[in-house]
Amino acid sequence: MPRSVHLFAAPLFWTVVGCMLILRGASWLGTGHGWWLLIVAVLLGTLKSLLILDKVARKTMQRIMLFKDGTCLGAVFSWKSWLLVGLMMAIGSALRSLGHPGHLLGTLYCAIGWSLCLSSRLGWVQWEALRQQHNEKS
């Protein structure tokens, strides 16, 4: 795959997974007072994004910028990142199997989803910069 596809795929993956987590978590918050927990989730997610995920996103973008065209699409994330994705999916599945997810898990899902969406901005900026650079050459 061309490097530009990797630069598009990384933030797309984070955005899609983030939105899915937000929607699922919000459905567990319910109506009424549960929606106040969405504010808590946004605050926690913003902290996670700024303190942790932004660093990961920058590192991922730097890795991708070193790719040569023809690199496998699966290389968009390191093997450690793919391992972490699998582990987080397994933990999420285990937590959901313990019973109704409820407000706590809903808040956690919304926070993680928001942090992924917010940090994906770094990938979108990098992809747009490469796209602009390509357009200037054309």
* Residue range 54-93, pLDDT digits in tens: 999 999 999 999 988 889 998 898 888 899 899 999 988 8
14-18, 84-88, 130-134: which has the highest mean pLDDT? 14-18
Q: Is 90 exceeded by the pLDDT of residue 116?
A: yes
C-alpha 4/C-alpha 94 separation (Å) is 36
pLDDT at 42: 96
d(CA 36, CA 134): 44
pLDDT for residue 96 = 81
What is the chain's mean pLDDT, rounded? 91
